[in-house]
């Protein structure tokens, strides 16, 4: 041991770097999926506050740690952990793809019987549930 009499030594302890670990390299969803938690996708060694923001509010909106799908498209979720007493803050991004929903068409009748010369058929009325299909009609053959 070395003893130094009447000497002041200043010891500086710097904050450690934060680590943000993401459990998935990207998020793939389908428009119409339910909201999902973001907190179970991220772990950190820093006790600071985790926050999430959306890169495109037309695709994903975020309230607290819950993401809600707003529309189809691609975006990012920005993940940030704030600085704490022993750790520096840090951030990362998670790429997100929200695919369009495949339309489901349910016929109210399994067959259509028409005779040449009869009135036109309104196809939209034959479907009980249809997503964004424009009204189309079949007219008499020419």
pTM for this structure? 0.68
For position 19, what pLDDT does the model report? 94
For position 126, what pLDDT does the model report? 59
For position 135, what pLDDT does the model report? 39
CB 87 within 8 A of CB 46: yes
Instruction: For residues 118 and 125, give the distance between their C-alpha atoms in angstroms, rounded to a whole number.
Output: 17
Mean pLDDT by 10 residues, the chain (142 residues): 72 92 94 94 95 98 97 97 97 96 69 74 57 41 42
Instruction: For residues 139 and 118, give the distance between their C-alpha atoms in angstroms, rounded to a whole number.
Output: 9
For position 29, what pLDDT does the model report? 96
For position 115, what pLDDT does the model report? 76
For position 142, what pLDDT does the model report? 42
């Amino acid at each position: 041991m070395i003893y130094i009499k009447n000497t002041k030594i200043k010891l500086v302890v710097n904050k450690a770097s934060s680590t943000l670990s993401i459990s998935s390299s990207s998020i793939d969803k389908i428009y119409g999926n339910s909201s999902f938690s973001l907190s179970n996708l991220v772990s950190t060694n820093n006790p600071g506050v985790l926050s999430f923001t959306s890169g495109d509010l037309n695709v994903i909106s975020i309230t607290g740690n819950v993401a809600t799908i707003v529309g189809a498209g691609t975006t990012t979720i920005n993940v940030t952990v704030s600085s704490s007493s022993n750790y520096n803050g840090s951030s990362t991004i998670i790429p997100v793809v929200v695919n369009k929903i495949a339309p489901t068409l349910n016929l109210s009748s399994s067959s259509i019987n028409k005779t040449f010369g009869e009135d036109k058929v309104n196809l939209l009325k034959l479907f009980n549930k249809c997503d964004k299909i424009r009204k189309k009609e079949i007219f008499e053959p020419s």
